[in-house]
Structure 1
Amino acid sequence: MKQPRRLPFLRIALLLAAAVALVAAFIWLAAQKPAAQGVEAPPLAGAPIGGDFALTDQDGGRVTNDSLKGRYRLVYFGYSFCPDVCPVDVQRMAQGLQRFEAANPAAAARVQPVFVTVDPARDTPAVLKDFVAAFHPRLVGLTGSEAEVDTAKRAYRVYAAKGEGTDAENYLMDHSAFIYLMDPDGKPMLYFERGDDAAAIAAGLAKWVR
């Protein structure tokens, strides 16, 4: 049986490091832009992150950047077959939102949590329906064709590629992992890293969600 193509570990590490460096560069460039007098600008203000996409949610409905307008979004790219990192990251995102909901339910109601798969071949709407239900009742899971998912990945500057596996159905995905907070117009505000716990996410939401 033909074995799947294996990406050298060093190449994967370099690509992931490049993705992190790219986002860091966007943050630095955004920080150089002066904010309006007396108004603190979000850390990612002006960064070229986000944009048009058209994907399918866990119920078979179409979701686009425009259909989410008017709501803040917590956006995470991952995949449901991930054995460890993605479930932990999505749980942190959900728990951070839950803390914010407890402190400020009216503002929290304006925040839409979104999970976008980087593995559309396996993450069908039915698979995502079970996955997102385990984390938050309002979490939307998005999938689509490979081309549609690639468009969303490019818009959000997300790196993802197949890693090692034993066959075509059993493989891991290597991908960058940030939780983005986007404003009601779909513009980037800030991102949370893996080291940011639920309390840090709740604090970020409390600071920037109006």
Structure 2
Amino acid sequence: MRALAALAAALVLVALSGGIWYATRSSGDGDMFADCRSAKIAGGADAIGGSFTLVDSTGATVTDKDVITEPSLVYFGYTFCPDVCPLDMVRNAEAVDVLAERGRSVTPVFISIDPERDTPEVVGDFAYNIHEKMVGLTGSPEQVAAASKAYRTYFKKNDSGDEYYLVDHSTFTYLVLPEQGFVEFFRRDLPPEQLADRAQCFLDRI
């Protein structure tokens, strides 16, 4: 009788262990960042981001491997943008400073979607004036379009017939990690402190 009770207890333990393993496996789905993600992404996180070839502020051709050497906040915009881009980039810079105070090093990256006006020197000055650590990137129209497509961003030039044209564009900021690539996006209404909190969740898991 005692042997049967011990056997029953062992079977229950095995079943319980299996249930826990299954629940963990099912809910996490092998995603080390599952608890940090704010929303599901159509096609999964792997569908966003990837390799790019652009031009830095010195005029040198660089790839994503050269730029994303530590956790980075990547934003697509343009320097002639009257309000949205500067505000978003300042927000990102402030989030980087918050993370630095917590011992986390993150690079803010600005990718121009207006290569016609945004020369290497222009994006370099724009980036540095916002944050000394910020990386400014531009490129040929083809290079910029390829990078934008990789990150699923949108932009469209409003041709006014002069040099003062505006460019419609999406305003997401992307958290990109050197080994994992794109892991999350942040909307522009998220304050610096909250952006830092959400980014740190990912950083704490690498």
TM-score after normalising by structure 1: 0.76
Give the structure 2 partner of residue 182 of structure 1: 176
Cα distance between partner residues in 1 of 2:171 and 2:155? 10
Shift of 1:67: 1.9
The correspondence for 1:193, drawn from 150, 173, 187, is 187
Q: Does the aligned pair in 2 maintain the 1:71–1:112 contact within 8 Å?
A: yes
Distance 1:158 1:186, change over 3 A: farther
Cα shift at 1:34: 4.1
Do 1:79 and 1:118's aligned partners in 2 also have CA atoms closer than 8 Å? Answer: yes
The counterpart of 2:156, out of the listed 158, 161, 182, is: 161
Q: CA deviation at 1:123?
A: 0.3
* Contact persistence 2:33–2:202 (CA under 8 A): no
Whether 2:67 is the aligned partner of 1:53: answer: no
- Structure 1 residues 69 and 163, CA, compared in 2 at 3 Å: closer, same or farther? closer
**Which deviates more, 86-95 or 194-203?**
194-203
Unaligned 5+ runs, structure 1 = 1-31
Matched position secondary structure for 1:170: coil
* Structure 1 residue 159: Cα displacement: 0.6
Letter in 2 for 1:127: V
Residue pair 2:156, 2:169 contacting (<8 A) in 1 also: yes
Indicate if the aligned counterparts of 2:77 and 2:169 stay in contact, CA closer than 8 A.
Answer: yes
SS at match of 2:45: coil
Partner of 2:89: 90
Work out the CA distance in 1 between the residues paired with 2:67 and 2:85. Answer: 23
- Alpha-carbon separation, structure 2, partners of 1:122 and 1:133: 17
Q: Deviations over 1:109-161 (max 9, x none)?
A: xx221100000000001111211111111100100100010010000001100
Residue of structure 1 in register with 2:62 after alignment: 63
Kindly provide the amino acid, as one letter, of the partner of residue 99 in structure 1: V
**Contact 1:70/1:185 (<8 A) preserved:** no
Count of aligned residue pairs for this structure pair: 173
The structure with more radius of gyration: 2
User: In the alignment, which residue of structure 2 is the partner of 1:80?
Assistant: 79
Q: How far has the Cα of 1:102 moved from its partner?
A: 1.2
2:173–2:186 Cα contact (<8 Å) kept: yes
CA-CA distance at 1:69 after TM superposition:
5.0
User: Which residue number in structure 2 is paired with residue 117 of structure 1?
Assistant: 112
Contact 1:72 1:186 survives alignment (8 Å)? no
Superposed counterparts of 1:27-42, under 5 Å: 34-36=28-30, 39-41=32-34, 42=36
The AA in structure 2 aligned to 1:117 is S
Looking at structure 1, the residues matched to 159 and 145 of structure 2 have their Cα atoms a distance apart, in angstroms, of 20
**CA 1:83–1:70: 2 relative to 1, 3 Å:** closer
How far apart are residue 51 of structure 1 and its match? 1.1
Q: Report the more deviating stretch, 177-186 or 44-53.
A: 44-53
Q: Is the 8 A contact 1:51 1:186 kept in 2?
A: no
How far is 1:59 from its partner? 1.7
Distance in 1, matches of 2:180 and 2:67, equals 8
Q: Report matched runs for 1:139-154 at 5 Å.
A: 139-154=134-149
Larger RCO: Structure 1 or Structure 2 (Cα < 8 Å, ≥ 6 residues apart)? Answer: 1
Identical columns (%): 38
For residues 133 and 68 of structure 1, the distance between their equivalents in structure 2, rounded to whole angstroms, comes to 15
Segments of structure 2 that go 5 or more residues without pairing to the other structure are 1-25
